[in-house]
A and B are shown apart, each in its own frame.
Chain A
Amino acid sequence: MRKAFIIAYKDLYTTFTDRNLILLMFAAPLVLSAIIGVTFGGIAVGGGGGALSDIPVAIVNLDEGVSLSFSGQDSAINYGALIAGVLSGEGVGGAVSGLSRDTADCPAAAAAEGGEGTMTLEQLLAPVMLTSVEEARRRVEADEVAAAVIIPASFSADLQVSPVKPALTPVSIEVYSSPERPISAQIIRGVLDQIGAQFAAGNVTLSALIASLASDPLRISSVFNSSAFNEGIGCVFAGVSSSVVIDRQSISGAEVVINPLVMIGAAQAVFFGLFTANGQASSIIIERKNWTLQRLLITPTPAVIVLFGKMLAVFIVVAVQILFLVVGLTLLASLLGGSPQFIWGTNIPGLLAVIAATALGTAGIGSITAAAAKSAEQAGVIGSIVAIFSAVFGGAFGFMPPPALANLSIVYWGADSFTRLAAGNNDILLNLLVMVLYGAVTFAIGFVLFRSRIGDR
């Protein structure tokens, strides 16, 4: 095993003392990702630390509302108006009559408002309220707004729970977005997801409460009138308006404010990783041609250790390259934003694990091409084809093929892991597992091919 490290060290020394190679391997992908990111990502330079702000959005609220009635106490609720209010930054006053509350009374909301490095919805969105769906669509098509949010007429009714209708009816808010502004549209969708999540939380509490109260009608009115209850439901909604903080931590599962540099850089990192893995693994072919591989194999060193050492170097070079890209893009984003921005999320161990697993997967693929190809040129061609297909299947070129294809691509798994982490979603275990397995299987195939070709001319 020690010998595998010696071989890997020799390869790393050779690679990292080659100035041209270094330039090609590190600077090129960084520059390219940055150019793509800045050009297509629409990074707003400056703007008080936010990558994006004042996204134009049209809001059409068709919701007819619903009235609540408990033992003579009437109140009307229009959830649609609530959402419109949240998005427009006008607050929730009027959406819930009789439950008008000040944000400041809700401790969680007040705390969130002052959070540093975060952004409120008012800063993020520039909404216009419309009454006509057609008009909203027209504006999207004319690229006057990034998206139109259309709240259906039965929205409140569907969301309502009562003793006679104890479950929520699934609802949907239509987001009609412009393909020209994919990132803005993503952000709006993410905001709505978050609002939806809070609604669901609020209503679950509410329905549990109503269910328990229904069994004891005598207590209904007293509970409903208690300040504790009002504060509870009020804060659910009031909280919406201020705690949808545009901060990658607070919104899980949605690619909300993923910096465009991440969206592009993540897939590019894996894509370039594949090229690097291929190039580095081609050193096997070059060693076979120079006879140094044969010379290695006549030392008392098992062939599997020799290949392992070579592949260890591939793994390290790819990992270093991706790490370099991740750090480089972080610096770039911080530079553009004017303040430090951890665009890849704050889960550093997770990030390192993803980098390692990605490098493992790509190194394994490299081992197959290097073992199968007849010459370094041939390996280069095969490797490029594999890299490009992986990138296309993996969504690196801006569109996502069907999952059956995407799942085959290491680019998909790698990029998906990075964007998950960037979005504050730590659910990457499956991704890691897939990539490690990918690496193990491809290495095994590579080794069998390698063994069978040792004596070839």
Chain B
Amino acid sequence: MESIVRVSGLTKTYTRQDGSVVQAVRGIDLDIYRGEVFSLLGPNGAGKSTTISMISGLIPPTAGDAEIGGHSITREPLQAKALIGVVPQEVALYPMLSARRNLDFFGRMYGLSGAELSKRIDEVLDVIDLKDRQNDKVETFSGGMKRRVNIGVGLLHRPQLIYMDEPTVGVDPQSRRRILDTVLRLRGEYGMTVLYTTHLMEEAQELSDRVAIIDNGAIIALGTLMELMSQAGEEDILVLTVAKERANDSIVGVLQAVEGVSRAQIEPSDTDNGEVKYAVYARLGRRALPGVLTAMNAAGVDVMSVNVREPDLETLFLALTGRALRE
């Protein structure tokens, strides 16, 4: 498969004013293939935006480099930048200008003009579905509409590659759906390559061909969804919540004795909310559930709630870091 982005040894170290050092990105290597949706999944502060900023030529890396379509972002920034569309995490628009003027201005910054620019703007307005509001000031838009214009700007020059940095942050479910559909359409209809960052497992799971999980500035897992799932384990997990005063050392043994259960453990938890969670691993979780509940009942332990978790990226993240993806 042909790579459109090759990142090697990418590193960013910040020195704060008080002299403390932040290693925002610690030597990332990755390839993004032409035509795929590649997600960078990680919690807040993982280094997603810093990575995007470096590979879009906004900030210089402390070390390492990225090649975009064969052009080094540090040595041939103008050629590399021309290939990329960027949708920043922030809504980067001029509030006092209309949607159309925003598109027009940024289009010109990508070297478009005249009838061609006008045609592209119409196309983009179509994609983001804002034709009827195009002449209103962005200031007057809802959060979701602003997000859509923010995406539109990144599409204007028909880049082969688009970076979208948490494009659904702070939007209502309806707008989120629209944005996710747009991403799928960009790959499906226009054959674009999308680098998508998010801290939401569901989004990565729905959109991506491949996912890299990033934590603390480093990539801790990378692969197709299938590959990552198998890394997470093939078993379902039943999560039983028990009141703390009812929890005792024998429960793990009771659970492991149930038929169909391979193992059980206490789930690590940072918060003390008077509850203890037990993770019960079973190949077919739903089928093992009645036996598990009966055994708990027999042991005299009240189960407050049961949650069946099929393996997902969340599980993988938990398994790799011992922390939940979102706090």
Q: List the interface of chain A (C-beta within 8 A of B).
A: 3, 6-7, 10, 13-14, 17-18, 290-292, 294-302, 454-455
Contacts and interface: CB of A to CB of B under 8 A. Distances in A.
A298 B90 contact: no
Given A3-B109, A298-B58, A14 B94 contact: yes
Nearest to B86: A298
A148 B240 CA distance: 105
B109 A299 contact: yes
Contacts of A299: 81, 106, 109-110
A296 B57 CA distance: 11
The A interface is mostly helix, strand or loop, or mixed, namely helix
Given A294-B58, A298-B56, A298-B58, A10 B105 contact: yes
Interface string B71-106: 000000111011010101011111111000100011
A13 B100 CA distance: 14
B57 A295 contact: no
Interface string B151-195: 001000000000000000000000000000000000000000000
- Find the residue from B53, B58, B77, B153 having the highest chain A CB count within 10 A: B58
B86 A295 contact: yes
B106 A455 contact: no
B108 A6 contact: yes
18 contacts: A3-B108, A6-B108, A10-B105, A290-B90, A291-B88, A291-B91, A292-B93, A294-B53, A294-B92, A295-B88, A295-B106, A298-B57, A298-B58, A298-B84, A300-B110, A300-B111, A455-B58, A455-B59
Nearest to A455: B59
B94 A292 contact: yes
A454 B78 contact: no
A13 B111 CA distance: 20
A388 B198 CA distance: 49
A454 B54 CA distance: 12
B58 A454 contact: yes
A292 B88 CA distance: 10
A12 B119 CA distance: 25
Interface residues of B, number: 30
A6 B110 contact: no
Contacts of A301: 109
Contacts of B91: 290-291
- Find the residue from B59, B82, B101 having the highest chain A CB count within 10 A: B59
Contacts of A454: 58-59
Nearest to A6: B108
A34 B82 CA distance: 52
Given A10-B105, A294-B58, A300 B86 contact: no
Contact of A291 (B59, B92, B101, B106): B92
Contacts of B84: 298
A294 B88 contact: yes
A298 B89 CA distance: 14
Contacts of A3: 108-109
Given A298-B56, A298-B58, A455-B59, A290 B93 contact: yes
A301 B105 CA distance: 13
Nearest to B16: A457
Given A290-B94, A300-B78, A300-B111, 4 more contacts: A7-B109, A290-B90, A298-B81, A300-B79
Contacts of B79: 300
A455 B53 contact: yes
Nearest to B97: A14
B59 A290 contact: no
Given A14-B97, A299-B110, A300-B78, A290 B58 contact: no
- Find the residue from B81, B88, B92 having the highest chain A CB count within 10 A: B92
B96 A17 contact: yes
Contacts of B58: 294, 297-298, 454-455
A422 B95 CA distance: 43
Given A291-B92, A298-B57, A302-B78, A6 B97 contact: no
Contacts of A7: 109
- Find the residue from A13, A18, A291, A300 having the highest chain B CB count within 10 A: A300
Contacts of A14: 94, 96-97
Nearest to B12: A455
A219 B108 CA distance: 84
B84 to A, nearest CB: 7
B120 to A, nearest CB: 14
Contacts of A17: 96
Contacts of A294: 53, 58, 88, 90, 92
A455 B105 CA distance: 23
A295 B60 CA distance: 15
Nearest to B109: A299
- Find the residue from A290, A292, A294, A302 having the highest chain B CB count within 10 A: A292
A6 B105 contact: yes
A202 to B, nearest CB: 66
B92 A295 contact: yes
Contacts of B109: 3, 6-7, 296, 299, 301
A294 B109 CA distance: 13
Contacts of B97: 10, 13-14
B86 to A, nearest CB: 5
